[in-house]
Amino acid sequence: MRLVYLLPLAGVVAVACGGKPAPTGGEGPAQPAAAAGPDGNERLDRSIVPTRYVLDLTVDPAQPTFKGAVAITATVEAPTRTVRLHAEGLELATAQAEVAGERRPAEVRMGPNGGLALDFAQPLPAGEVVLHFDYAGKLGEVPHGLYRVEDGDAWYAFTQFEALHAREAFPCFDQPEFKTPFVTTLRVPEGQLAFTNGPEAGRSADGGVTTFTFAETKPLPTYLVAFAMGPLEVMPAPADAIPGTPLRILATRGKGKLAGYALERTPLLHAALSAYFDLPHPFAKLDQVAVPNFSAGAMENVGLVTYRETLLLLDGATAPAQRKMWSQAVVAHELAHMWFGNLVTPTWWNDLWLNEAFATWMGGRTVAEVDPGLEMDLEQVWGAQFIMLADSKKDTRAIRQPIRHGGDINNAFDGITYGKGAAVLRMLEAWVGAEAFRDGVRAYVRAHAHGNATTADLMNALEKATGKPVGAVAAGFLDQPGVPLVQMTLTCDAREPATLTMKQTRYLPVG
């Protein structure tokens, strides 16, 4: 999630290095074509579906470029001469398709917004192919894609891929419906550390470069892939803090001493969430990273959750209650994503609310349960009032809206998705009953674990669990903008029974 800051709390809930190079996938440069490439904002169809990524990146955070190689295994539905995917700001040295052990060079067409087309002289057959790329990219200092940060006397590299920035780090099918396992190798200057979504499987040093290999992940969409590299400090929690899941805090040099509060509260918040879903942590590890330059606020990357460092690092003995509440709310929000968004991912961005509204609702609910003295329930009421005011404007939008281009995706990360979406969920829970609602949520998560889902899938699960027309009721709040105004008129006549007339219209404030 990219955390959106709209309210004091409701918004809280927005040159390669030397040494051994990345391996190459074949000889000869990719051949540029004269024709323009596709627009990366246009949605890819499912005629070619990725099934596995093998990534190899060589990164020196002190340098402004990096090198990479990626092999993407994919299934081709029908014979085709053209493969469409994404890559932005990358210089492709080789682009090839491997079919039955034979490498075929591609003619490359780059389009706007990270659109990429590979054209082949002969059609690729239906079935399995492996796309191979060797490339170089820029390691900039703007906090999106793969970027670098100078903190103190050291450089670090971090990532922010949601929503459309994974394509800046490696060629990929950059859409949430394409969930695949990732196998990653990271090469960094000797003496530095490297982290990604999966647990470390091994490391070796050679020629001033340390190579880190990582275990294969569960299926992930590209926007949840993440890396962190540099002379990071690692603060582990006790082995049993989260049963079966290692928990660590990562921080830049000299800041690890402030990790204690997060290490203390994270297991408590996680336990409450795990109990609600009746499922353990769905991934192999949980690293939380404090990033000095991070515009998103926080991001729920599987196994490597990133935070603006002021939200994760604080002195529990001296920090005011409000800052503790914000910190716990953000952590709880990100942890809720492990089930809503990460384990079960929306098929497309028009259902972003399934990620962000649920994480906002569950985050606040969890903090109120774990630490009632912080009075999170009052903040939730105030947040709902604030969102109702924003939603009463004529130019507001619906929670669910058509996503036609990249701008629509970015616009969806706002208070309507987060705040109004969370308020609608609280309303539905109050209507059907907390236990019945929970049962529906549990059924939904289990049915779509490690896959994708839509709003219709959630509504079907809730209706089966509650026996009520949840979908029809929710649609009035999800698919149209505005706040309903109910007016009641009582008519009294001595000769007739009293009559109560009710009228519903859209509320519009005066002026």
DSSP state of 340: B
Residues 389-417: pLDDT tens digits? 888 888 889 999 899 888 889 889 988 99
Residues 251-297: pLDDT tens digits? 999 999 999 999 999 999 999 999 999 999 999 999 999 999 998 88
Which of 162, 300, 334, 379 is flagged as catalytic? 334
Q: Are 68 and 77 in contact (CB under 8 A)?
A: no
pLDDT score recorded for residue 12 = 42
DSSP of 480-510: S-S-EEEEEEEEEETTEEEEEEEEEEE----
Cis peptide before 34 (omega within 30 of 0): no
pLDDT score recorded for residue 270 = 98
The position carrying tokens 């659109």 is 115
Tell me the average pLDDT of the chain.
92
Show the domains of the chain with their CATH numbers. 48-68+133-336 (2.60.40.1730), 344-483 (1.10.390.10)
State the DSSP H helix or E strand holding residue 466, giving kind and residue range, or none if neither: helix 455-466
Give the percent of the chain with pLDDT over 70: 93
Look up the pTM and report it: 0.90
The predicted model gives 16-36 an average pLDDT of 45
Closest by CA to 420, choosing from 389, 394, 395, 379, is 389
Q: Can you give 122-164 as a three-state secondary structure string?
A: EEECCEEEEEEEEEEEECECCCCEEEEEEECCEEEEEEECCCC
Q: Please give the C-alpha separations between residue 424 and each of 91, 263, 365, in angstroms, as whole numbers.
A: 45, 32, 14
Q: Please give the C-alpha separations between residue 455 and each of 178, 397, 399, 415, in angstroms, as whole numbers.
A: 18, 17, 11, 19
Residues 309-349: pLDDT tens digits? 999 999 999 999 999 999 999 999 999 999 999 999 999 99
Which pLDDT band, with edges at 50, 70 and 90, does 138 fall under?
Answer: very high
The position carrying tokens 């924003």 is 390
Query: Among this protein's residues, is 334 annotated catalytic?
Result: yes
pLDDT score recorded for residue 2 = 55
What does the alpha-carbon distance between residue 287 and residue 300 come to, in Å, rounded to a whole number? 10
Which pLDDT band, with edges at 50, 70 and 90, does 31 fall under?
Answer: very low
Closest by CA to 339, choosing from 367, 368, 360, 359, is 359
